[in-house]
Structure 1
Amino acid sequence: MDSSSSDSDDSDLQVLAQLSDWDDDEGDCGEIAFVELSKSFLRTDFMASLSDAEFTFRFRMNKESVESLLNEIMPFVKVKSRRNNGIPPLHQLLLALRFYALGAMLKSVAEFVGVSQSSACRIVADISTVLARLYSKYINLHARTTLDFYNIAQFPRVCGVIGCTHVPIQCPSSTMGEEYRNGKGYYSFHVQAVCDADLKLLNVVSQWPGSAHQSTIFDNSVLRGILKKMIYYHKIVTDKLNLLLYFIPAQCDDGVLGNCWLLGDNAYPNRPYLLTPVYNPSTAQEVRYNEAHIQTRRAIGRAFAVWKRRFPVISLTMRLSLDNIQAVIIATAVLYNICINHNIEDVPPEVELPDENEIAATAENVQSSENDLRNRQHLIANFF
């Protein structure tokens, strides 16, 4: 054998050493499974090949935050392969981030990162589940921005604003499809979230179908149980305090809402811990209350818009299993808060997004009992 032939063999071996695995494990991605021919993909080092700005645009997070997140999830990321060169955790994380950024068919995302479609399906499910487990670390209730809320429209003691939005999905099945059809006629998950004045998510509920009403979601949520316990405890305490403190915006300890409220629209029932606008206001005080309420509550609409713009996958129709869709919603919520923590600039979406008004939740007025309205009436009479 001549030297040129030997050099060619060595070159082929070097190329093969850089190829991704041919893992053909099938994941529950909700798409039609096709048998793929064995083929190889060139895996790119995006950390080295992309500039900081290009990296952030492609993956919605900067390199520093990705490295920090990778170190955090590394113990929980699996490397599955029947061959010697499994997909490393970094490429798995980047593949999931790329999917969240595009919301496209998994085939195109797989080719961009350099894996097979079946591997991409499994990786999105695995990484989304791992990221969703970080929920309690990055998404939690607090009352640190009551003063920031007060500065918006002088509405006192607001610790968060609550609302719902629709995340479009494909029809899950013929047997349960109508359950997921929302009032606008398409299939979706009806996602409830609470945010603070910095647009940071404090609570996310993602398991309800599109037909569920906002009041139903809230009344059956863990959040309501937490707020009921907190308002009962602090009602006992505040009865013993000077009434002047009742209307002073208060900074509370981390994790304790204390003597504070959530604000929601009229799709929610008015509660001692959740204030809604006055339906058909009849006095100047009620008008001022409603105006301050609406201006302050706009934060949740902005939070939804930024969340969907950063991770367009939750604006576009997802073609995954229902369990995987829920994991993706929570995973992107966690990543959204991480981006705020790292002060990552809001980058424009790489794909065209639908009009936010087309996927917004429809509010229907919910009647509240006289007892539940007493707290709101007292606030209007004494503050506005």
Structure 2
Amino acid sequence: MDRVLHNYGLIDQDSDSSDFEHEMAELNVPIRKEKNFAERKNYFELLDEVEFQKRFRLKKQTVEMVLQELLDLIKYPTDRNNAISPMIQLLLTLRFFATGNFLTTAGDFSGVSVAAAGQIVKRVSYALAKKSDKYIKMPKTTAEIMEVKMKFYGIARFPKVIGAIDCTHIKLQSPSRENGEQYRNRKGYFSLNLQALVNANLEFLNVVARWPGSAHDSNIFANSRLRARMDLHEFKDCVILGDASYALSYYLLTPIENPTTRAERLYNESQIRTCNVVERTFGVWKRRFPVLFFGLRLKMETSMAVIQSCAILHYIARLENDPQPPDEIENITQLLTNELMDIEDAIQPEHNNSSLRNALIAEHFGLM
């Protein structure tokens, strides 16, 4: 730079550059300052397997697999302006999911600014959400459906089950003045009411993460694509299990409110034990990614992408047999249990759909 200034007669070759900067400052001439970049540590290389899993909730092998899935979506075209590498982008996002802290903490951890951290979390979450159809899906082939049924049957001998359904609330900051109250749930805080269908291995088969906290579980299901697929008999000779907040139908079986016979009591016991996998899934999921427990302070679209991303990562972690993360949040298990076991006040009418349930009770549980 000094040579350029000398060519224009602004500085002598023998003069000191600091004197020149002082003179320019007196003349109010702006001088471009050198950019200082914080050190960006690659924790994938620095940490051993145990410490890595504590901080990022996934095995190194699993993170490598996820990175390969996202590489083309999150890699910057060039390395200009000290571009952040795909691995550091992914680790920053995982750290945000794993701590539930503000973006400042995740940014400082990875050596990037708060603004950059926010953009990275959004960028990686959207990239992950695009992979939903690959990982969050219903069984298709006869063999896949039979495998799901057999695993459910192994829990408490309930036949024909292809999934267990329930909803859980993900805390949010107030969305907006105009429609914020729609997101206030009956417990008084703002949330998204997430619907999920899971299998016996605590894996997500279907996730709906767009309804406000005030929406009733049965209303979410009534307007879902899953309900339409069940109505069209796409999954023949299959049922899903839900709690008393859902309306009984020929394919959605709920507990009997007041069982009187031995067969009805056996049915209820088997139904509740089998359906409990969805509550266990929510508990494991939120312990793996505590950001879902503590709440999201992001824009609505980004919050939805984060939720979907965590569902996909949880599914991948289950497929890869990643160990369940330790419970490092005080009383989180009890808090989650209280939330998930809380049954809606309104009990849906059974109408004429009880005939199929009664037939199943007589045929299957009456012989036990």
Q: Could you tell me the TM-score, scaled by structure 2's length?
A: 0.83
Aligned residue for 1:206, secondary structure, equals strand
Aligned residue for 2:89, secondary structure, equals helix
C-alpha deviations, 1:137-162, integer Å up to 9, x for none?
11111232211211221111111111
More relative contact order, 1 or 2 (CA 8 Å, 6+ apart): 1
In structure 2, the residue matched to 1:109 is: 106
In structure 2, the residue matched to 1:125 is: 122
Aligned residue for 2:66, secondary structure, equals helix
Name the count of aligned residue pairs.
322
1:64-83 → structure 2 map (5 Å cutoff): 64-79=61-76, 83=80
C-alpha deviations, 1:167-215, integer Å up to 9, x for none?
1111112222211111111111111111111111111111011110000
In structure 1, the residue matched to 2:348 is: 367
Matched, 1:277 2:255: yes
Letter in 1 for 2:351: E
In structure 1, the residue matched to 2:188 is: 185
1:19-168 → structure 2 map (5 Å cutoff): 40-79=37-76, 83-142=80-139, 143=145, 144-168=147-171
Q: 2:216 aligns with which of 213, 225, 230?
A: 213
Percent sequence identity is 42
- Looking at structure 2, the residues matched to 317 and 80 of structure 1 have their Cα atoms a distance apart, in angstroms, of 33
Aligned residue for 2:58, secondary structure, equals coil
CA contact (8 A) 1:271 1:372 kept: yes
1:155-304 → structure 2 map (5 Å cutoff): 155-230=158-233, 257-304=235-282
CA contact (8 A) 1:183 1:362 kept: no
Letter in 2 for 1:302: R
Pair 308,287 (structure 1): closer, same or farther in 2 beyond 3 Å:
same
Provide structure 2 residue ranges, at least 5 long, that are not aligned to the other structure. 1-34, 140-144
RMSD across aligned positions (CA): 1.8
Q: 1:356 aligns with which of 310, 323, 336?
A: 336
Pair 362,300 (structure 1): closer, same or farther in 2 beyond 3 Å:
same
- Looking at structure 2, the residues matched to 347 and 104 of structure 1 have their Cα atoms a distance apart, in angstroms, of 17
Letter in 2 for 1:163: D
Q: Could you tell me the TM-score, scaled by structure 1's length?
A: 0.80
Aligned residue for 1:137, secondary structure, equals helix
1:315-334 → structure 2 map (5 Å cutoff): 315-334=293-312
- Looking at structure 2, the residues matched to 319 and 222 of structure 1 have their Cα atoms a distance apart, in angstroms, of 28
Pair 133,286 (structure 1): closer, same or farther in 2 beyond 3 Å:
same
CA contact (8 A) 1:315 1:353 kept: no
Residue 289 of structure 1: CA displacement? 0.9
Residue 80 of structure 1: CA displacement? 8.0
Residue 349 of structure 1: CA displacement? 4.7
- Looking at structure 1, the residues matched to 285 and 190 of structure 2 have their Cα atoms a distance apart, in angstroms, of 20
Residue 282 of structure 1: CA displacement? 2.4
CA contact (8 A) 1:96 1:123 kept: yes
